[in-house]
Structure 1
Amino acid sequence: MDMFNKLTTLFQQALETREPSVNLQDSFVEHWKGITNYYIETTDDLIPVKETDIPWRLKQMLDILVYEEKQQESQETGPCMEYLLQHKILETLCTLGKAEYPPGMIQQVLGFFTKLLTQIQQPLLHIINVYRPVQKLICLCAQTGSQTEKEEAQFLFVICSRLKQDPYVLNYILGIKTEEPSRRSCSSSGDEVQQGDSETPNGEKMPPGHQNDSGYLSSPCRSPSLTPEDKKLIHALLFLTKSQKSRVALRACEGLSLLLAIPKEETAECLGQKTAVCQMVAGRLSELYSSIPLSLEPVDVHSCPDIQWRVQCSPKTSEESSSLPGREQLEAFLAWLDFCNHLVNEAPRTLSIKLAKAIRRQWLVAVVQPQLLQVSEAGMLLHMALLSRILHRVSAPTLLEELVFFILGSQRNCERQVDPDAPVLRRQLIENCNHISDEISIATLRLFEELLQKPHEHVVFNLALRNLERRGYIAPGAAGGGEERQPGDGEPLEESVEFEEDPFFTDMDSEGNFNHVETLVSLPPQQRGQGEPGGQSQAADIVNSFLCLVPQEAKTSRYVQGAGYDTYVHDAHEMFKDCREISLNWGWPTLPQPPEVTSLDSCFYEGHFLKILFDRIAQILEQPYELNLQVTSVLSRLASFPHPHLHEYLLNPYISLATGSRSLFSVLIRVIGDLMQRIQHIPNFTEKLVHVRKQLMSLEPESLMDHVTLLKGVIVLEEFCKELAAIVFVKLPMEDL
């Protein structure tokens, strides 16, 4: 009896040892036959798939495959996976999904494919009996009126995730044909392979390489030769980014981001050259930009908060949905712009450059530029505001470079007064800074101020430095080529022969209009000329030259608390710090370069941009207050850059200017001369000036008054001189004054 019990136990253990292996495959086959039998036995084709046992059986099949993989000690394919591949189960499921029989079957198929590619750890997409049905299922996605957008987006996202892990199979997923191999193509076994692609049992063409019974594809011997075709994966992803369902759009964007961020350079080259992804992304940007209604006000553009593409794809509340007319289109455009910036920033360099150039060609040049060159004032203001927002948002280096070159052109040679080859858009935008419409001038100046804040060396060089390189503004032979000189006691500030011949400027010092009443109290030890004799005194003189430029009767700071020079030092320090940080790697010299000897007939030209700014400063007493603020803001930004030529030309009062040349200080001298003559014709000038100053600070109510524009101009002039003095002060450690 004991012997019988032992035999029974041993027999039972043997059966239990073999049972999981045998029953696992049998169970898998049984579930698949249960699905196929449903189509044989059922005659009612209106029963929804959820009311059948198909979803349950698909889940059981997936669970078996996952369990089988976990039990495998080696990387070999288990019997259940072999059965799925050999019997082309994925192909059949794809066909059933396309037929939508029973109703809702496509949703089940998408879910099965998604979970299979997510939960199975071993690579699958290189297997022909996997990637072919995947290709077909991709073609079923992104159909108009689809009820399975959520499942489609998740499926495509998983495909992109697997492609990032195994980028070498991208060519096959995109359906890109491969080059025919040579007649004696190499293979892993060394056997000859006939010319042409091999075929699957059902007659389908297969990429060159070895194929085993399960449909596995070995590495092809030659790189695929890609041909331009409609790439369904990219098309489907971009289609779903337009979905009204926020989570669907977000998932599609994430999938596209994964695809374009694949670091392998061959993949980037494939996507850039053999697919239309760059053109499609840029086309979507153009489409959204063009959808912004002309009724949108520029103030709404500026007040719209920065939109991030992930946040934009999040569900909206009812309050957020009910916005101003045109706000929804603006937010959609800004979100896609942020997404494009993200794609360009994350993509490998080859693809990044390709995408940035497509955006410039298809959107900036084809769509934006005509709008900026139009004659309608309302249209110009709207698109100027939009371009300012675009500049503010773009940060990806390659996209920023294309944007900068679009606005300014790529020229770096010395600018001439008459230059027929100058870029049309650059010339027009600079001209708009001196437009007959003050609103257009303000909007364009705001655009240039935004441009000067971007970390790209070409901006400052193209707008200003290209004409200051040779230091042609220095009088020939003056102090060894433009070195600073100290004005002697009673010596006027010579600027040029033109100024010396002006009776106002020759008599100015004797009249006492430039006595140093407001002086710099002291300089910190680290700012005292770096140990050079007279360094502190010279620095103080330069700062005081700006502080004392405005005559005492035109100053209002002493009458208003908290309006002194010291209040500008902090802001000047922050702006200088920002300019120094963004220009740190631009290779600028620390000392002025020796001036080049030029022909006597060649006059110095400051360049179109600085000319317009100087012309505007010269009109500071006749211009609206808001326009004056914007002009001085742009000039302060330029003066804050740590280039010795900019510092010398904009902030040094003591340079000897060449005949016919002007600097910022010489322009301000002219304005002061004009102001002194006007003051004599305005009774109670100082009292009126203080009253306007308090009105601007909301310390007194608004009231009608004569000469308001001039009075406000004087206030801006005083504040600008204090701002320039503060900039000089904070730059002292960096400059050789």
Structure 2
Amino acid sequence: MDMLSKLTNLFQQALETREPLVNLLDSFVDHWKGITNYYIETTDEYRPVKQTDIPWRLKQMLDILVYEEQQQQVEDTGPCLEYLLQHKLLETLCTLGKAQYPPGMSRQVLLFFSKFLTLIQKPLLHIINVYRPVQKLIRLCGLPNAQTEKEEALFLFTVCSRVNKDPYVLNYILEVNTAPTSKSSSSSSSDEPAAAAGVGFNEGSPMTPDLSGPQATSGLIQVLLHLSQSQSPSPQSRVRQRALESVRLLAALPGEDSGALLAAGSPLCELLAQRLCELYSLIPSTLDPADVQGSPLTQWREQFTQTSEEERPSFPGSDHLTVFLCWLDYCQELLTHAPKTLSVKLAKEIHRQWLSGLLQPQLLQMSEAGILLHTALLSCSVRHTHSAPLLAELVPFLLGSATHPERPAETNTDTHATLRYKLIQHCDHISDEISIATLRLFEELLQKPDRSILGNLMLRNLAQHGYATPTAAGCTGDERHVAGVDALDESDELEEDPFFSDSEFGADEPLLSLPKRQEEPHPSTHTQVSETVNSFLCLVPQEAKSSHQVQGAGYDTYVHDAHKMFKDYTALSLDFGWPATATDGPSPGSEFYEGHFLQVLFDRIARILEQPYELNLQVTSVLSKLAAFPHPHLHEYLLDPYISLTPGARSLFSTLVRVIGELMQRIQHIPEFTEKLVHVRRQLMGLEDESMMDHVVLLRGVIVLEEFCKELAAIAFVKLPMEEQ
């Protein structure tokens, strides 16, 4: 009897559970018939859809589908959803939307699809009677003069969100699968377990994409990038943002299969690079390079924020520059989060179209105005480059890939080597503006986390220790220090110059004395560094110094900055695998060449007394950054005054010594030199008004020289091991 009672209760519960579903289906069908009957009974073809009951009926149908799913098990498909799939309701809606009948129907269809794909949690896009109408509706988006961009952007964002949730359906949405084997809607329920399992692109599986066929002209990627260029007014910039967010969702799909599909089965990479070139080409040629250099770092989402409108730079052409930099940042976000296959393809496409195809001819042109602007734009672009894949393309583009030591007369027909040569030559251009802009470019490069930059520019030439004499190279650090003091005796003229006698310095200024040979055969590390600091601090004679005449211009002001710079560059080069000490010996019989880059920098620093102030600041800025890197050869070659140089070689210190010799000869012919020097320094600090003065270029050069020596002394000091300080 109890058993019979239990069976009766279960049967009653089954009837109570089933009855609402039957009623739901009747209601669902009635609403659909109400929509189709409108087309049979109406006589007014121009009545807007909002004045009909179609929007209300569509909403009721959607509510029924959502309620039905909430009452069903996850694996089951309810009768209302089965009816929608079997009778191809989505196909019919797509056709009605395409016909725009009644007027405004396309907007209602787009909204229905968006809500349907958002609210129904069950995987759907693998079902043929879902993805086919979705594909058709995608083709209806992005048409000229469309009034539904907002709804289109929402629909496409919804599609991409579902693909991001179920990456295995990507090939259906991109339409690269020529023979999909998903079963018809009548058996959709049996498809869902496979969908939930996350079927991948396994070789030989029915879902393996065919990437060999021709691409559609109006696919998902094309439509999204079209909407990303929408000219809708400001409140509707949401269209552009949603389109870009949709592409970002696709590019960030996990797994190399998805990346390979997007890279080879869609025009994503080509279109992104093409858009970058278009935006670069729109930057006006009248743009002031100084404005380019001062443009702040820009993130792509900032163009959609209202606050950024007020904070954004407002100089002629700033809008075009900002849009380009935002797109560059957007491409880099895709590069950072995309699978390797896709990121490599996109970076190479940017290299091919923008760097090689568009930028390189501009850098090699004859017009000085053109070279200046595009060098400034390149420098700004390098500053904005933060993704590893793009940096991996940018560095070989600018510097080539050679790793062997350079030779003075070496020629290379490689395109990138030609560009490298031209850019380094531009650091010593007849136009000071071009020289400054190109030096800034290299300064930006030095701050990027790529070991090949310093390796290409300098370290491959210093690696064999060819700048040091064999005797010094074979000694220990202490022995090389003692032997290297003789390097200060390389110029007989300077030794005999009365301005280099100790009597020129005050007795109460122990730091301002020339470096002397140590009596102890093995001076301590602390002693070596102290002498190195002294060597740079006392290099400029007392009568050529002016910082002590102005408050806040002493050596100590550089120590804090040097600490920060050394810390930053140590962190930057942490993974470069540099040696801790200089151990390589010089190649027998080989002639040392510092390389093209250092040659130009040394030539520039040798002319510091006759160059414009801004140019001198830029040259010394690049050299100080090079000296701050924690590589033993850079430290030795740029900061060790005692190194014994091979015949014909020059170091930074020996170059500065010759500049001082030239300076002391010129001082003798300038009356009231010290007073004029102080006056010019006060002018540069804004403490006095500008006024005409003879020898102003020389005086400013002397001031830069003094500050540079103090900066080098500070860098040498902070690179001393902390326990020795």
TM-score of the pair, normalised by structure 1: 0.88
- Aligned partner of 1:279 in structure 2 is 270
| Contact 1:85 1:214 (8 Å CA) reproduced | no
Q: Measure how far apart 1:371 and its partner are.
A: 1.0
- Aligned partner of 2:174 in structure 1 is 174
Determine if the alignment matches structure 1 residue 72 to structure 2 residue 72. Answer: yes
Distance 1:14 1:717, change over 3 A: closer
Counterpart among 215, 231, 237 of residue 224 in structure 2: 237
Q: Measure how far apart 1:653 and its partner are.
A: 0.5
Whichever residue aligns with residue 365 of structure 1, its letter is S
Whichever residue aligns with residue 101 of structure 1, its letter is Y
- Superposed CA RMSD: 2.6
Q: In structure 2, what is the Cα distance between the partners aligned to 1:209 and 1:132?
A: 11
Counterpart among 507, 526, 537 of residue 536 in structure 1: 526
Q: In structure 1, what is the Cα distance between the partners aligned to 2:184 and 2:284?
A: 57
Q: Measure how far apart 1:553 and its partner are.
A: 0.6
- Aligned partner of 1:90 in structure 2 is 90
Determine if the alignment matches structure 1 residue 365 to structure 2 residue 356. Answer: yes
Q: In structure 2, what is the Cα distance between the partners aligned to 1:722 and 1:92?
A: 79
Q: In structure 1, what is the Cα distance between the partners aligned to 2:17 and 2:524?
A: 98
Whichever residue aligns with residue 292 of structure 1, its letter is I
User: What pairs up with 1:486-501 in 2 under 5 angstroms?
Assistant: 493-495=485-487, 500=490
Whichever residue aligns with residue 226 of structure 1, its letter is L
Distance 1:504 1:306, change over 3 A: closer
| Contact 1:514 1:548 (8 Å CA) reproduced | no
Counterpart among 633, 650, 672 of residue 638 in structure 2: 650
Describe the superposition over 1:313-355 as per-residue Cα deviations: whole angstroms up to 9, x where unpaired: 3458986899443222111111111101111111111111111
| Contact 2:481 2:528 (8 Å CA) reproduced | no
Distance 1:35 1:657, change over 3 A: same
Whichever residue aligns with residue 552 of structure 2, its letter is G
Counterpart among 168, 181, 190 of residue 208 in structure 1: 181
Counterpart among 211, 217, 224 of residue 209 in structure 2: 224
Counterpart among 402, 406, 418 of residue 411 in structure 1: 402
Q: In structure 1, what is the Cα distance between the partners aligned to 2:678 and 2:703?
A: 9
| Contact 2:224 2:243 (8 Å CA) reproduced | yes
| Contact 1:97 1:109 (8 Å CA) reproduced | yes
| Contact 1:384 1:444 (8 Å CA) reproduced | yes
Counterpart among 243, 250, 254 of residue 245 in structure 2: 254
Distance 1:256 1:221, change over 3 A: closer
Q: Measure how far apart 1:699 and its partner are.
A: 1.2
SS of residue in 1 equivalent to 2:379:
helix
Whichever residue aligns with residue 666 of structure 1, its letter is S
Q: Measure how far apart 1:480 and its partner are.
A: 2.6
- Aligned partner of 2:377 in structure 1 is 386
Distance 1:15 1:160, change over 3 A: closer
Distance 1:706 1:66, change over 3 A: same
**Unaligned stretches of 5+ residues in structure 1:** 1-10, 179-196, 198-206, 522-531
Distance 1:81 1:303, change over 3 A: same
Determine if the alignment matches structure 1 residue 686 to structure 2 residue 680. Answer: no
- Aligned partner of 2:5 in structure 1 is none
Q: Measure how far apart 1:305 and its partner are.
A: 2.9
| Contact 2:336 2:388 (8 Å CA) reproduced | yes
- Aligned partner of 1:528 in structure 2 is none
Distance 1:319 1:604, change over 3 A: closer
**Unaligned stretches of 5+ residues in structure 2:** 1-10, 200-204, 513-521
Describe the superposition over 1:145-193 as per-residue Cα deviations: whole angstroms up to 9, x where unpaired: 1100011011111111111111111111111134xxxxxxxxxxxxxxx
Of Structure 1 and Structure 2, which has the larger fraction of its residues in helix?
A: 2
Whichever residue aligns with residue 620 of structure 1, its letter is I
Q: In structure 1, what is the Cα distance between the partners aligned to 2:486 and 2:17?
A: 105
Q: In structure 2, what is the Cα distance between the partners aligned to 1:13 and 1:159?
A: 38
Q: In structure 1, what is the Cα distance between the partners aligned to 2:13 and 2:181?
A: 48
Distance 1:501 1:673, change over 3 A: closer
Distance 1:472 1:486, change over 3 A: closer
Distance 1:479 1:345, change over 3 A: closer
- Aligned partner of 2:517 in structure 1 is none
Q: Measure how far apart 1:511 and its partner are.
A: 3.1
- Aligned partner of 1:270 in structure 2 is 261
Q: Measure how far apart 1:47 and its partner are.
A: 0.6
Distance 1:87 1:699, change over 3 A: same
Q: In structure 2, what is the Cα distance between the partners aligned to 1:418 and 1:482?
A: 34
Whichever residue aligns with residue 146 of structure 1, its letter is A
Q: In structure 1, what is the Cα distance between the partners aligned to 2:562 and 2:147?
A: 58
Q: How many residues align?
A: 684
Q: Measure how far apart 1:257 and its partner are.
A: 0.2
User: What pairs up with 1:223-622 in 2 under 5 angstroms?
Assistant: 223-228=208-213, 229-230=215-216, 232-245=219-232, 246-314=237-305, 323-421=314-412, 423-478=417-472, 480-481=474-475, 483=477, 493-495=485-487, 500=490, 502-505=492-495, 511-512=501-502, 518-519=509-510, 534-599=524-589, 602-622=590-610
Describe the superposition over 1:448-479 as per-residue Cα deviations: whole angstroms up to 9, x where unpaired: 11111111111111111110000100112236
| Contact 1:292 1:326 (8 Å CA) reproduced | yes
Q: Measure how far apart 1:507 and its partner are.
A: 5.5
Q: Measure how far apart 1:677 and its partner are.
A: 0.7
Q: Measure how far apart 1:404 and its partner are.
A: 1.4
TM-score of the pair, normalised by structure 2: 0.90
SS of residue in 2 equivalent to 1:67:
helix
Q: In structure 2, what is the Cα distance between the partners aligned to 1:103 and 1:542?
A: 83
Q: In structure 2, what is the Cα distance between the partners aligned to 1:616 and 1:110?
A: 65
| Contact 1:307 1:334 (8 Å CA) reproduced | yes
Q: In structure 2, what is the Cα distance between the partners aligned to 1:283 and 1:317?
A: 26
Whichever residue aligns with residue 692 of structure 2, its letter is L
- Aligned partner of 1:524 in structure 2 is none
Q: Measure how far apart 1:493 and its partner are.
A: 4.9
Identity of aligned residues (%): 62
Q: Measure how far apart 1:443 and its partner are.
A: 0.8
Whichever residue aligns with residue 47 of structure 1, its letter is R
Describe the superposition over 1:368-400 as per-residue Cα deviations: whole angstroms up to 9, x where unpaired: 111111121221221111111111111011111
Describe the superposition over 1:595-650 as per-residue Cα deviations: whole angstroms up to 9, x where unpaired: 13321xx3210000000000000000000111100000000000000000000000
Q: In structure 1, what is the Cα distance between the partners aligned to 2:422 and 2:33?
A: 73
Distance 1:285 1:714, change over 3 A: same
| Contact 2:511 2:538 (8 Å CA) reproduced | no
Distance 1:252 1:514, change over 3 A: farther
Greater displacement, 655-664 / 468-477:
468-477
Q: Measure how far apart 1:417 and its partner are.
A: 1.4
Q: In structure 1, what is the Cα distance between the partners aligned to 2:142 and 2:622?
A: 49
Describe the superposition over 1:277-325 as per-residue Cα deviations: whole angstroms up to 9, x where unpaired: 1011000000000011111111222233332211213458986899443
Counterpart among 684, 707, 711 of residue 696 in structure 1: 684
Distance 1:260 1:14, change over 3 A: closer
